[in-house]
Amino acid sequence: MAETIPSFADYDHIIVAMSTGKDSLACHLKLIEDGADPAKIEWWHHDVDGQEGSSLMDWPITRDYGAKLADAFGIPLYFSWKEGGFEREMCRDGAPTARNHFETPSGLKSAGGNSHKTGTRRKFPQCSADLSVRWCSAYLKIDVASTAINNQERFLGKRTLFVTGERAQESAARARYKTFEPHRTDLRHSPRRYRHVDHWRPIHAWSEEQVWDIIRRHGVNPHPAYHAGFGRVSCMNCIFMSHNQAATIQAHAPDRIGKLANYEKEFGCTIHRTLGVLERAAKGTPYEAATSEAMKRCLGEEYDLPILVDPKNWIIPAGAFGESCGPT
Ligand code: SF4
């Protein structure tokens, strides 16, 4: 079936949900190759840990790598997050969910957090394709982005293309996603608050080969975690981590995985129903590519390698085509 490419000239804004992983990067590169005007593009990155000091889930290097990646392409990068991030949401005990913060062209804004509806979590999100129980994606990414669109006047009376990088190859659940549909914030039929927002998944039909190929063509040095052997990059301590990923993190950042283990003990409930995270680490083998130097870079806060390299010298990272454990 022929691929449908939206007419970019019909949009005022193009937002790319930029995790800094390979799929969101491929979305941006495809937009450029398909002729989208870079001046209309902006990247949105959701900090899963928030910006209030929690360091439970995210790779420490991601923010700086993302900032330098955005600089290299001349694209504005806006960070957004739920206050207190994953940790606060997970520890909610008879309390309402926190508000969301989002950077905008006119500064930092906040919205939400006014609900009187209280709730208690005190357990990790469940490893399920159902977003109502795997609440991390819904509460820390999807809702944060929707809040940021709903609360910026600049999208009213305009047409916006919202771009995300899910691929059918990743899971049966993702295979069922539509490639193009009205975004959940769309108000195209509202006579008083018109806002047209389309959701496009431009690489939905792509294979992993195609993703790495476009990154190679543009000579982009991918997120350091790929060089350390990880096949998917979003949260370092993703609830979907494999035994080998757990073993790699245990070998290089025992304090980070130790925090997960402490919460498992406190909640009396492990992330996976049968084994605790440290038992899983004990069953795995650290990635060979996760050398001290490679992991030091992932665990640092300053990215010190070039972002763009000559495509002729581009090297496929060790994590490509490897274990692909991540959100289903
Ligand atoms: S990467 Fe994993 S832990 Fe992080 S938000 Fe997504 S599913 Fe949740």
**What residue ranges line ligand 1, CB within 6 angstroms?**
48, 57, 125, 136-137, 140, 234-235, 238-240, 327
What is each CA distance from 106 to 5, 78, 153, 236, 259, in whole angstroms?
Answer: 31, 11, 11, 31, 37
Burial (CB count within 10 angstroms: exposed 0-12, middle 13-18, buried 19+), residue 184: middle
Q: Which of 130, 124, 126 is CA-nearest to residue 89? A: 124
Tell whether the model's pLDDT for residue 303 goes beyond 70.
Answer: yes
| Cα–Cα distance list, 134 to 121, 137, 251, 275 (Å) | 12, 7, 27, 18
In angstroms, the first-to-last Cα distance of the chain is: 25
Secondary structure, 3-state, the chain = CCCCCCCHHHCCEEEEECCCCHHHHHHHHHHHHCCCCHHHEEEEEECCCCCCCCCCCECCCHHHHHHHHHHHHCCCEEEEEECCHHHHHHCCCCECCCCEEEEECCEEEEECCCCCCCECCCCCCCCCCCCCCCHHHHHHHHHHHHHHHHCCHHHCCCEEEEECCCCHHHCHHHHCCCCEEECCCCECCCCCCCEEEEEECCCCCCCHHHHHHHHHHCCECCCHHHHCCCCCCCECCCCCCCHHHHHHHHHHCHHHHHHHHHHHHHHCCCCCCCCCHHHHHHHCCCCCCCCHHHHHHHHCCCCCCCCECCHHHCCCCCCCCCCCCCCC
Query: Has residue 138 got a pLDDT over 90?
Result: yes
| The pLDDT of residue 227 is above 70 | yes
Nearest atom (ligand 1) to Cα of 141: 5
User: Is residue 214 a part of any domain in this protein?
Assistant: yes
Domain containing residue 49: 10-313
Cα separation, 68 vs 215, whole angstroms: 16
Tell me, in angstroms, the distance from the centre of ligand 1 to residue 150's CA: 23
Per the domain annotation, does 110 fall within a domain? yes
Asked if residue 253 belongs to a domain, the reply is: yes
How many residues in total does the chain contain? 328
The pLDDT, as a whole number, for residue 130 is 84
CA of 328 to the centre of ligand 1 (A): 10
For 254-293, what is each residue's pLDDT tens digit? 999 999 999 999 999 999 988 999 999 999 999 999 999 9
Q: What is the pLDDT of residue 94?
A: 96
Residue 238 sits at the vertex; the CA angle it makes with 44 and 199, to the nearest 5 degrees, is 35
C-alpha of residue 121 to centroid of ligand 1, in Å: 16
Q: For residues 13 and 7, give the distance between their C-alpha atoms in angstroms, rounded to a whole number.
A: 12
Given a cut of 90, whether residue 325 has pLDDT beyond it is no
Specify the ligand 1 atom closest to the Cα of 239. Answer: 3
- 250-285: string of b/e by CB count within 10 Å (b at 16+)? bbbbeebbebbbebbeeeeebbbeebbbbebbeebe
**Is 5 inside a domain boundary?**
no
- Ligand 1 atom with least separation from CA of 327: 7
The predicted pLDDT at position 3 comes to 75
Question: Does residue 323 fall inside a structural domain?
Answer: no
> Number of folded domains in the chain?
1
Q: Ligand 1 test: best mutation among 57, 87, 131, most atoms within 8 Å of CB? A: 57
Residue 328 lies in a domain: no
Residue 99 Cα, ligand 1 centroid: separation in angstroms? Answer: 19
From 137, 143, 259, 325, give the residue whose CB has the most ligand 1 atoms within 8 Å, as the site to mutate: 137
Find the 45 Cα to ligand 1 centroid distance in Å: 13
Could you tell me the distance, in angstroms and rounded to a whole number, from the CA of residue 24 to the centre of ligand 1?
Answer: 15
Domain for residue 33, yes or no? yes
CATH number (domain holding residue 40): 3.40.50.620
From CA 313, how far away is CA 194, in angstroms rounded? 48
Question: For atom 4 of ligand 1, which residue has the closest CA?
Answer: 235
pLDDT tens sequence across 86-127: 999 999 999 999 999 999 999 999 999 888 899 999 999 988
Residue nearest to atom 2 of ligand 1 (CA): 238
The predicted pLDDT at position 239 comes to: 95
Distance 169 CA to ligand 1 centre (A): 18
Mutate to test the pocket of ligand 1, among 124, 234, 328 (most ligand atoms within 8 A of CB): 234
Position in ligand 1 atom list of the atom nearest CA 232: 1
Percentage above 70 pLDDT, the chain: 98
Q: Specify the residue with its C-alpha closest to ligand 1, atom 8.
A: 136
Asked whether residue 179 is domain-assigned, the answer is: yes
- Beta strands 100-104; 77-82: pairing state: antiparallel
